Amino acid sequence: MGDIVTFSSRYWARVSGRDTSAGPHVNGHDEFAAAWQKKALAGLQGLPVRVFRQRFSVPGFVDLPALSPGVNVLLVVPGAVHPEEAVVVGSHYDGEPTSKGSAYDDTSGSMVLLALARAMGATWRREGLPSRTVIFALFDAEEEGLAGSLAYTFAGAHHAIQPKPVVMVDEEQSGIGYPVRPFGLLSQQTLPSYAVTNGFDPPARLGVPKSGNPAALRQLTIRLQRARGRVFAALSAAYSPVKYRGGRAQAFGAGDLHQLQIGPSPLCCSDNAPFQVQGVPTVTFAGEADYYNSNPPPWSYPFDQPQDTPAALACDTGGSPTPDAALAAALDLPLAMSEAVVNDYAPPKRGTGLAVLSSMPAAGVSTHFTEAGSADPAWTFGDGTHARGADVHHTYRRPGTYTVRVAGRAYPLKVARAGPRQGFPFGTLHPPTVRHWQPTELDGVPGCP
């Protein structure tokens, strides 16, 4: 919870494409990304990790046009056995114009992703690199129609070099879920948490979904169900019994496994959707999201609102602006489940790996190449030119198919006559209307709304 407090207290109104260096409480978008990247790299210290910053056009909001491109921050750890395949774990870091930190949506997801990088960094230093490439993706512009995750999958579909995703894990808003009880009251029932998998078609405007592999989705579901039992047992030892307002109660017992609901949901959607359209099995870890329903319960949390602050998150889950153990456990649940997924799909192996990413190639346009795995690799681009370094640029004069070679590996690259233009399938959106939120259960509690 400490990172959520730090990041959401410092960086407000993180609107993609609108940061003008006016200060982190005017728009903290760029500062958030820089601080997150620095801390994530510290957690992965000693590993052959590279940063690939993927720039793309964003639509902005109605009456708030974009002034600059969006930026996905991709941290790439190469796989020791199958570096050409990837486990993509992502969250989004952008927010709404009126937000004051976006503690729940989606600082919580970004901090789960940060904690996952720290945890996996420790595992990989101890046991070896992941067998598949793992990409920690801090996606931009989710609030502007999933523009960042769409840019990632769009690049892969238009001849950019990138490891092929075999599974995508989406860290969405977490913390208001099991074993939390509304306002921390023992008299209330625990709230469920969600591991949302593919199963319902994404919006038609995202395109016709590829058929994918039903067996791969079944395998993901089985792995999640197996991990749930192990994770509940570990969290029971760490947290149970949990203290609430009114007493203590056991948590994470075998009889409560259903409180982490695994399976498809008709609700749409987050950065999982563009991957689902590509036929990739996905899971989104998330908590409560009823605030915009027609008749939400009083504790339903005001995400995407100015009230979405660390204090409000703690008050809604514990009845006090000081975070409690139930909230900490609710945040540890998606972290532990994500660790299990990464270890299942990319178990550590001793050895070296090499992973390559590029921007979309087009004649006359500089193509960006990044390599993770070598300190100072030599590149040949298939047109008689060469370069050296982990992060290089090259411009092809003519369209055609070329073979890029680096560190003994070859990558075919189809260079288009002109770069493809990514559209905005959801158009330009209005920001959410600011709404009143002041639950009577918090009346008179200092520091709570």
pLDDT of 269 higher than 90: no
- The rounded distance, in Å, linking the Cα atoms of 344 and 444 is 48
CATH 3.40.630.10 segments of the chain: 2-352+422-442
Closest of 156, 112, 171 to residue 275, by C-alpha: 156
Q: What is the largest CA-CA distance in the chain?
A: 74
pLDDT band at 205 (very low <50, low <70, confident <90, very high): confident
- The rounded distance, in Å, linking the Cα atoms of 168 and 90 is 8
Residue 163: its pLDDT value, please? 98
- Say what the pTM is: 0.97
Q: Which residues contact 215 (CB under 8 A, 6 or more apart)?
A: none
CA-only gyration radius of the chain, Å: 22
- The rounded distance, in Å, linking the Cα atoms of 191 and 176 is 7
pLDDT of 177 higher than 80: yes
Residue 24: its pLDDT value, please? 95
Give how far Cα 111 sits from Cα of 93, 133, 167, 181, Å. Answer: 10, 21, 20, 22
The alpha carbon of residue 20 and the mean position of all alpha carbons in its chain are separated, in whole angstroms, by: 24
CATH class of segment(s) 361-415: mainly beta
Report the DSSP beta bridge partners of residue 72: 54
| pLDDT per residue as tens digits for the range 213-228 | 889 999 999 999 999 9
Closest of 196, 110, 85, 207 to residue 154, by C-alpha: 207
2-352+422-442, CATH topology level? Aminopeptidase (3.40.630)
Average of per-residue pLDDT across 280-292: 96
pLDDT band at 212 (very low <50, low <70, confident <90, very high): confident
Look-up: residue for tokens 């991709």?
74
Closest of 181, 175, 42 to residue 107, by C-alpha: 175
CATH 2.60.40.10 segments of the chain: 361-415
pLDDT band at 265 (very low <50, low <70, confident <90, very high): confident
pLDDT of 199 higher than 80: no
- Helix-then-strand count for the chain, H and E: 8, 19
pLDDT of 387 higher than 80: yes
